[in-house]
Amino acid sequence: VQEQGQHYLVMEYVEGGSLREVLEKEGSLPAQRAVEIALDLADALTRAHRLGILHRDLKPENVLLAADGTPRLADFGLAHVATSSRLTQTGILMGTLDYVSPEACQGEGGDERADIWSFGVLLFELLAGCLPFRGDSFMARLNAILTLPVPDLSALAPGVPDGLADLVYRMLEKDRC
């Protein structure tokens, strides 16, 4: 919206808090609830990607929950529009490290697959109650993202169906090809 030469962003008021707050309270979510949230987020990401928009900072803090529990993808502050001039330089890390794809960690330009990686980290966290790649320092977390295999989701969250665990593993594939 533009008013008197000023641009304003108008958003829906979402009163249910963030997905981070739910995780802090509950630790993890039952697989069915995680899938319900994931389906709505996948729809939102698909719509953004069709418009040429990369979110680049998908994480529980940026998923708001409406009063009925449905998620809203928020905070497009780091988003990149594929058709616009370059908003950031290649080689600069954008986003929250724990959710950044391996190629972005290496300073490579990202595409929709980087958002899918972040989505996979978020889904892993919803199901297991912890991040898949951890470390005590920035460099340790960076090394984990770049080199370590995805932890066994079935061991961390025994009730997760095999097909869902397989989906998460595919989303967190380190080789983009």
Mean pLDDT of 130-154: 94
Q: Percentage of the chain with pLDDT > 90?
A: 51
- Residue type (1 letter), 3: E
**For residue range 82-125, what is the model confidence (pLDDT) as tens digits?**
444 344 444 444 568 898 888 887 877 677 888 899 999 999 99
**For residue range 15-33, what is the model confidence (pLDDT) as tens digits?**
888 999 999 999 999 999 9
Question: Two tokens at 135?
Answer: 């470390």
Q: Percentage of the chain with pLDDT > 70?
A: 83
Q: What is the pTM of this model?
A: 0.83
How many Å apart are CA 22 and CA 32, to the nearest integer? 15
**For residue range 30-50, what is the model confidence (pLDDT) as tens digits?**
999 999 999 999 998 998 888
Mean pLDDT of 43-68: 88
The residues carrying an active-site annotation are 57
Task: State the maximum Cα–Cα separation within the chain, in Å, rounded to a whole number.
Answer: 57
Residue 108's closest CA among 19, 175, 43, 24?
Answer: 175
Degrees, nearest 5: CA angle 168-53-61: 55
pLDDT at 88: 42
